[in-house]
Structure 1
Amino acid sequence: MEGYTYESAAKELEQILEALKNDEISIDNLATKVEKASKLIAFCKEKLSNTEKSVQVIIDKLEA
Structure 2
Amino acid sequence: MTELNGPTWRKSSRSSDQGNCVEIADNLSAVVGVRDSKDMTGPVLLFPAQSWQNFLREVKENGHG
TM-score, scaled relative to structure 1 = 0.32
Q: Which has the higher helix share?
A: 1
Instruction: Give the structure-2-normalised TM-score.
Output: 0.32
Which protein is richer in strand relative to its size? 2
Which structure has more relative contact order (CA 8 Å, sep 6+)? It is 1
